[in-house]
Amino acid sequence: MRILLLGGSGQLGTDVRGVAVGRHEVIAPRHEEADVTDLVGLERVIQRVRPKAVINAAAFHKVELCEADPSATFGVNAVGAGNVARAARTSGARCVFVSTDYVFDGERQEGYAEDDQPHPLNVYGASKAAGEQLVAAAHPDSLVVRGSGLFGHAGSSGKGGNFVETMLAKAAAGEAVSVVDDQIFAPSSTRDMADRILTLLEREVPPGIYHAANSGSCSWYRFALATFEIEGIDADLTPKPAGEQVVRRPRWSILLDTKAERLGLPRSRPWRDALEWYLERRGRRGGAVA
């Protein structure tokens, strides 16, 4: 399958390219070559590449910057998402839009299923929720794939690494680490999420929303604690309440996968297993974030 990948240099995009080796042909143009805010340019790229599927992993995602610049945020995450979907439909390609747990308000302790109604708390979540709606309206054969708390070996270009790498760096520097223990989520290995996206395309699943987080849930403190436990690090780690934050975040944003079993798809592995795999592979890479 020929796949056009937008946002191919980020954590998820890098793993999509890696997981696709030997399975699919992935073409990942640079941002300058395929800007999601430029519909005409996108149409030219898609017409030239003629992909069977377009995966849109491009995003404006640093939540503090999103609050400061709603126009740019909605331009990429909402209008841009609609542009990609329209261009994909015109060329006859399926469209995959990567979304987030932040479309929810976090009031449901039991977590959120794919078809639960979004109610975002911040600009980033609102822009992604709008993007989901625009994609569905523009392209009836589209997939929305949500993740939560992404971590991958490529780090995140907009965030300067990822949470795991930040925790390990602080511990290596001998810093005391205090992490929020009352915001619960479902961590997502970008390697596993990439594999799930490709599997959804390969199985030709029905259009709609899919959750691709790893199974289980934890707080950010528990995620940090597990990281140190697996690595055998005696870190100065303490829990703390979220308290007042510059940007509101959902308290419980667990993504429930209610579709995998029904569609005969493999279930996602537990988040701790995925974290162990990540840390083992990280060691082989000399501890560096690529």
Instruction: Report yes or no: 125 and 70 within 8 Å, Cβ to Cβ.
Output: no
The SS3 of residue 252 is strand
* Spatial CA neighbour of 186 closest among 119, 253, 249: 253
CA distances for 16 relative to 32, 185, 246, angstroms: 20, 23, 33
Contacts of 164 (CB under 8 A, 6+ apart): 151, 223, 227, 275, 278, 279
Nearest to 145 by CA among 213, 91, 85: 213
Rounded distance between C-alpha atoms, residue 261 and residue 265, angstroms? 6
Got the DSSP string for 149-181? SEE-TT-BTTTTB-HHHHHHHHHHTT--EEEES
Could you give the C-alpha distances from 169 to 96, 160, 173, 272, in angstroms and in order? 34, 12, 6, 20
124 as an active site residue: the answer is yes
By the 10 Å C-beta count (0-12 exposed, 13-18 middle, 19+ buried), 182 is classed as middle
* Per annotation, catalytic residue among 124, 210, 221, 278: 124
Looking up tokens 């078809």 gives: 115
C-beta of residue 197 within 8 angstroms of C-beta of residue 265: no
Residues belonging to the active site: 124
